[in-house]
Amino acid sequence: MASDSSNTGHQAREQEIERLAQELGRLIQSAEPEKRDDLKELAYTLIREEIFEQDVKGVRERTTAGPFNPLASGILVVVLGGGFFFIFPVVGLALVFCGLIFVITGAIISWFKK
């Protein structure tokens, strides 16, 4: 039952698109011969932009990022700081300290987000 109604809706859209394309073709053919190429290019550009705009809007809606949580970054900085500690102890300790601040901040954000 649902497939019948979706097929009917799909066929109706196809018929409407065909009707609009025929009307657009008639309008372009009724124009002066030297302006037809410009009108064809305009129609193609407008259709392409309309479809492209809708695709971009849909992608933006699906890929909106949530707020940044520094928990994962903090874990990475702590690990890197631990590695640097054996080569440059002061830099390693500073990175571990900053990473721990990130981890604590991320944990607090995660805790209160629930």
Q: What is the pLDDT of residues 59-109, one digit of tens each?
A: 666 666 667 889 999 999 999 999 999 999 999 999 999 999 999 999 998
Residues 80 and 51 in one domain: no
Task: State how far the Cα of 109 lies from the Cα of 70, in Å rounded to an integer.
Answer: 9
pLDDT value at residue 102 = 95
Mean pLDDT of the chain: 84
Task: State how far the Cα of 105 lies from the Cα of 93, in Å rounded to an integer.
Answer: 18
In the block, residue with structure tokens 């190429």: 37
The predicted model scores a pTM of 0.44
Residues 52 and 79 in one domain: no
Residues 39 and 9 in one domain: yes
Residues 57 and 105 in one domain: no
Residues 27 and 50 in one domain: yes
Among candidate residues 47, 99, 45, the one with its CA nearest the CA of residue 75: 99
Provide the domain limits for residue 14. Answer: 2-62
The answer, yes or no, to whether residue 22 has pLDDT greater than 70, is: yes
Task: State how far the Cα of 17 lies from the Cα of 47, in Å rounded to an integer.
Answer: 12
Residue type at 1 in one-letter notation:
M
Domain count, the chain: 2
Residues 55 and 34 in one domain: yes
Lowest mean per-residue pLDDT among 29-33, 45-49, 59-63: 59-63
pLDDT value at residue 93 = 96
Residues 37 and 87 in one domain: no
Count of positions (residues) in the chain: 114
Which has more pLDDT, 4 or 26? 26
